[in-house]
């Protein structure tokens, strides 16, 4: 019996793999990270605000993605009692726990872009 080059079959590792799947399934698609990232910066935003801020998104996708995020308790939707009715989208307390993740995402992206620039100038 040869020893297989298996990684690490401990439950810790299985949990980790499962956890990555879970996170990705909640934040799947092209826009959710952007929307959450924007809401971290903006605190409370209306639909049209988000449409402007999230570069390139259309009404359909924004609407759908917000529903997804609301379903997963990450975003709250509050209809305000104003003259032209307005709706406020904001991160829930739980949604705010995504901050460190989004920060890492942004941080890595900055470094990545810099590394491309550096490699070009050699």
Partner DNA sequence: GGAAGTGGTTACCTATAGGAAACCACCTTG
Partner DNA sequence: CAAGGTGGTTTCCTATAGGTAACCACTTCC
Binding-site ranges for DNA (CB under 7 A): 28-31, 46-49, 56-61, 63-64, 66-67, 77, 83-87, 89
- Please give the helix or strand (H or E) that residue 6 lies within, else none: none
Report the chain's terminal Cα–Cα distance, integer Å: 50
CB 75 within 8 A of CB 94: no
Interface with its own copies (CB under 8 A): 4-8, 13, 15-24, 26, 30, 33-34, 37-38, 41-42, 45-46, 49, 52-53, 55, 73, 94, 97-98, 100-102, 104-113, 115
For residues 5 and 60, which CB has a smaller minimum distance to its own copies in the complex? 5
SS3 of the chain: helix, strand, coil, percent, to 5: 60, 10, 30
Binding site partner of 100, from DNA, its own copies, none, Cβ cut-off 5-8 A by kind:
its own copies
């Amino acid at each position: 019996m040869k020893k297989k080059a298996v990684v690490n079959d401990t439950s810790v590792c299985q949990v980790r793999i499962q956890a990555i799947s879970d996170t990705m399934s909640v934040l799947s698609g092209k826009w959710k990270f952007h929307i959450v990232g924007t809401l971290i910066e903006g605190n409370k935003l209306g639909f049209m605000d988000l449409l402007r801020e999230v570069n390139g998104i259309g009404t359909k996708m924004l609407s759908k993605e917000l529903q997804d995020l609301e379903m997963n308790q990450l975003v709250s939707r509050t209809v305000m009692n104003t003259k032209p009715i307005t709706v406020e989208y904001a991160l829930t307390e739980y949604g705010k726990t995504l901050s460190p993740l989004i920060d890492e995402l942004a941080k890595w992206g900055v470094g990545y872009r810099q590394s491309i620039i550096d490699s070009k100038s050699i």
